Amino acid sequence: MDSALDLNGAKPTVEDYMTRDVATVSPDDTVRDVATRISESEHNGFPVTDGRRVEGFVSARDLLLAAPNELVFKVMSDDLIVAHPDMKVTDAARVILRSGIQKLPVVDDAGNLVGIISNSDVIRSQIERATPEKVGKLKRTLETIHGIEAREERRTVPLANLVPTQGKVYADELEGRRYELEHGLAEPLVVIDNSGSDDGANLLLADGHHRVMAAERAGIEEMDAYVIVLERRVDLGMARTAEKEGLESITDINVVDYAHHPLVETVERLQ
């Protein structure tokens, strides 16, 4: 995804969030063939294409009462709802919500398949729109307090290079973060690059400690992040706090399993 879209406030389109590498089936495949592919994958259905042209969509439900040797074109749904790459993600979200389907094939002006967008992609787009607001506020605060200029970048950052600014996370929150990571719904990290003119990286993790620990447990070595790059190295309060608590890498973060995350405790009290 082009991060400039988010940072400049433009409304994201389907093309920004769709999956381009789409698994498809042929109209001449059998019900048995498609059922096998569904059972061996995470898909619950496939666009049916003749060449690049979309002819329909076949879901697991379409296969339930069909004979194993029946051809797909006889059982697929040809009353197809599709999206266009230039459609706004919010409009695609309305279509998904109102139709009750989970995925929209994305076709060009000629009706050729160019991608697919799912309800998870739509959720991710809304999550990522919120993050730049958080980044912008932090950037302006740093510029005001320290009298410096800063810029925003979108990067993939190695987790091993991050210096945490929070000494503990809650075990009950990590499960939710793991789910988000597995389904592509994790919000990007917020990182401050305080390297200045030094060659060595000084990447302070400002937001995303639970996400980082869930990723570390899952064996993920790098993550997507919004990075605030400071024009020169400054004495940051959060860096002093990290140093005082002996936080040098994410391995120094303590996972608390004897208490609930404060948000969970609040919900329990309300209930």
pLDDT of residue 269: 38
Above 70 in pLDDT, residue 185? yes
How many Å from the N-terminal Cα to the C-terminal Cα in the chain?
Answer: 40
- Residue 54 bridge partners (DSSP): 49
pLDDT in tens, 23-66: 999 999 999 999 999 999 888 899 999 999 999 999 999 999 89
pLDDT of the residue at 142: 92
Q: What is the pLDDT of residue 270?
A: 38
Could you give all domains of the chain from N- to C-terminal order, each with its CATH number? 3-121 (3.10.580.10), 148-270 (3.90.1530.10)
Residue 9 pLDDT exceeds 90: no
pLDDT category, 150, cuts 50, 70, 90? very high
**Which DSSP string do the residues of 33-44 spell out, in sequence order?**
HHHHHHHTSS-S
Banded pLDDT at 87 (limits 50, 70, 90): very high
Confidence of residue 266 (pLDDT cuts 50, 70, 90): very low
pLDDT for 259 equals 47
Q: Stretch 151-180: mean pLDDT, rounded?
A: 89
Tokens for 236, please give them.
């940051």
Q: At what angle do helices 171-182 and 209-217 cross, to 10 degrees?
A: 70
Give residue 128's pLDDT: 65
Q: pLDDT tier at 204 (50, 70, 90 boundaries)?
A: very high
Mean pLDDT of 72-80: 91
Which of residues 179 and 113 earns the better pLDDT score? 113
Which run of H or of E encompasses 4?
helix 3-7
Residues linked to residue 48 through DSSP beta bridges, in sequence order = 25, 56
Residue 198: the pLDDT is 56
Average pLDDT value for the chain = 85
Q: What are phi and psi of 102, to 5 degrees?
A: -100, -25
Average pLDDT over residues 149-168: 92
Distance CA 139, CA 144 (A): 9
Residue 184 has pLDDT above 90, yes or no: no
